Structure 1
Amino acid sequence: MDTGSHLLFGVTLAGMSLAVPAVAAHSELQYAILAATLLGSHAPDFDSVMRLRGPSAYIRNHRGLTHSLPAPLAWAPLLGLPIAWLFGAGAWSGIVILWTLFAVCFHIVLDLFNAYGVQCLRPFTRKWLHLDVLCLFDPYLFAAHGAAALLWLFGYSQAVAVFEFVYAMTAAYLLWRIVVYRNVMAHISAHYKLDRAHITMLPTFFGTAWQFVIDLGDEYMTGYFKHGRVNEVTRLLKAKPESLAEAAKATMIAEGVRAFHHFSERIHVKVQEEVDGYLVTWSDVRFWHHRRLPFTAAVTLDRNLNVLTDQIGWNKKTWQPPFV
């Protein structure tokens, strides 16, 4: 999810830790846990430093190793121990480490619910896993946790009970979103008489509709599911290795294209002939919106099919859909 949401969840986790008698009785432990859950809630995204090596390196590594299976076990003591010492809570370092672990794990779980996905089962597999049931920013989760944090900030005496209620509702909400996703998926699957493996879905911002991509073999079909109805939007040719144009094949050596194929699943390619060469654009159809394909790897070639430039990334603003 987005950085702001992760940090907010770090605050509410710290608030819920007050249910532990030792935490409620010692202010230094409370401050230590607040610092630990804030950092722990953001720690997996420290891989954003890979942006310094360029967009290709970032695409390859973001939500990879730092979100992997052993990562929480490394982040928890790495952050928890020095924070406990810094705040004079060394005697309760085990508690600080435990709440840091909760924060890191919650971060990874929430990212798993997003369409971008995580490599959370490394080192056993490098496959990108994604449940596709939450946007990058979920307004309902943010509002609920934000309200609980504000009550705590203004000294509400029953804040701990509020935090416990909010986290219980968060778990129920996540389960409900999975149920809704599966019901919509079943409807679309039955409508087109296709196996679910051929269908990818993303929720809209308020969760009232779903956009989908269906793999039809030689092409992809995009559309919306809203109010129980399926609405088709467009069809795009599938980028099949055996039918690629020579210009498209020539771009496979470009770092941006290699990073794109490392991450993307539903791939469309467009080759445009220009005065002095070619422009080849690879797009991930999963992230279509209003007939646009904002996640791309674009490569320019000369007439001899030599790579001149390549770039990969999102051709949209952060606040524009799709929210992944």
Structure 2
Amino acid sequence: MDTGSHLLFGATLAGLALADPAVAAHAELQHAVLAAALLGSHAPDFDSVMRLRGPYAYIRNHRGITHSLPAPLVWAPLLGLPIAWLFGAQAWSGTVMLWTFIAVCFHIILDLFNAYGVQCLRPFTRKWLHLDALCLFDPYLFAAHGMAVLLWLFDYSRATAVFEFVYAMTGAYLLWRLVVHRKVLAKLCAYYRTEASQVTMLPTFLGTAWQFVIDRGDEYMTGYYQFGRVNEAAYLPKAKPDSLTEAAKATMASEGVRAFHRFSDRIHVNVQDLVDGYLVTWSDVRFWHHRRMPFSAAVTLDRNLNVLSDRLAWNKKSWEPPFV
């Protein structure tokens, strides 16, 4: 999810920790748990430092090893022990590490619910896993957790009970989103007589509709599902190896296209003739919106099919859909 949401959830996890009598009774432990939960909730995204090495390195590494299966076990002592020492809570180092561990795990779980996905089963597999049930920013979760933090700040006497209720509702909400996703997926599979593996779906911002992509062999079909109705939007040819033009093949070795292919699995390619060459654009169809596919690798070639430039990027503002 987005950075702001992760930090907010870190704060509410620290509030939830007050249910532990030891945390509630010792101010230094409360401060240590708050710092650990905030840092732990953001720690997996420390891989954003890869942006310094360029967009290709960032796409290859973001939500990779820092979100992997052993990552929480590494982050817990790496952050928890020095935080416990810094706040004079060495006697409760285990508690601080525990809440760091919980914060990291919650971060990874929430990212798994997003369509972008995570490599959370590394080192056993580098496959990108995504449940496609939540947007990058969920307004309902943010509002509920934000209200809980406000009550805590205003010294509400039953703040701990509020945090317990909010996390119970959060678990129920996540389960409900999964159930809704599976029901819509089943309806689309029945409607188009296709397998679930051939369908990918993204929720809209308010969660009242779903945009989908269906692999139909030689092409992709995009559309919306809302209130029991299916609305088809567009048909796009697949980028199949045996149907690529020479210009498209000439871009396969470029760094941007290689990074793109390591991440994307619903791929459309468009070759545009220019006055002095070609513009080849590889797009991830999963993230289409209003006939645009903002996540793409664009490569410029000369007439001899030499690569002049390539660019891999999200061609949208962060507040624009799709929210991944």
Instruction: State TM-score, norm by structure 1.
Output: 1.00
Alignment of 1:229-308 (within 5 A): 229-308=229-308
Alignment of 1:107-256 (within 5 A): 107-256=107-256
TM superposition shift of 1:101: 0.2
Q: Give % identity.
A: 80
- Does 1:94 find its partner at 2:94? yes
TM superposition shift of 1:288: 0.2
Alignment of 1:17-32 (within 5 A): 17-32=17-32
**Residues 74-97 of structure 1: CA deviation (Å, up to 9, x unaligned):** 000000000000000000000000
The letter of the residue matching 2:195 is D
TM superposition shift of 1:60: 0.3
Alignment of 1:72-87 (within 5 A): 72-87=72-87
**Residues 12-65 of structure 1: CA deviation (Å, up to 9, x unaligned):** 000000000100000000000000000000000000000000001000000000
TM superposition shift of 1:148: 0.3
Does the residue aligned with 1:135 lie in a helix, a strand or coil? coil
**Residues 221-248 of structure 1: CA deviation (Å, up to 9, x unaligned):** 0000001000000000000001100000
Does the residue aligned with 2:251 lie in a helix, a strand or coil? helix
TM superposition shift of 1:200: 0.4
**Residues 161-216 of structure 1: CA deviation (Å, up to 9, x unaligned):** 00000000000000000000000001100000101111000000000000000000
The letter of the residue matching 1:290 is H
The letter of the residue matching 1:320 is E
The letter of the residue matching 1:170 is T
Aligned residue pairs total 324
- Does 1:38 find its partner at 2:38? yes
Does the residue aligned with 2:12 lie in a helix, a strand or coil? helix
**Any stretches of 5+ residues in structure 1 without a counterpart?**
none
**Which consecutive aligned stretches of 4+ in structure 1 deviate over 4 angstroms post-superposition?**
none
Instruction: Tell me the C-alpha RMSD between the 2 structures.
Output: 0.3
- Does 1:309 find its partner at 2:296? no
**Any stretches of 5+ residues in structure 2 without a counterpart?**
none
Supply the distance in 1 between the matched residues of 2:217 and 2:269 (Cα, whole angstroms).
15
TM superposition shift of 1:275: 0.8
The letter of the residue matching 1:115 is A
TM superposition shift of 1:152: 0.3
Supply the distance in 2 between the matched residues of 1:253 and 1:218 (Cα, whole angstroms).
24
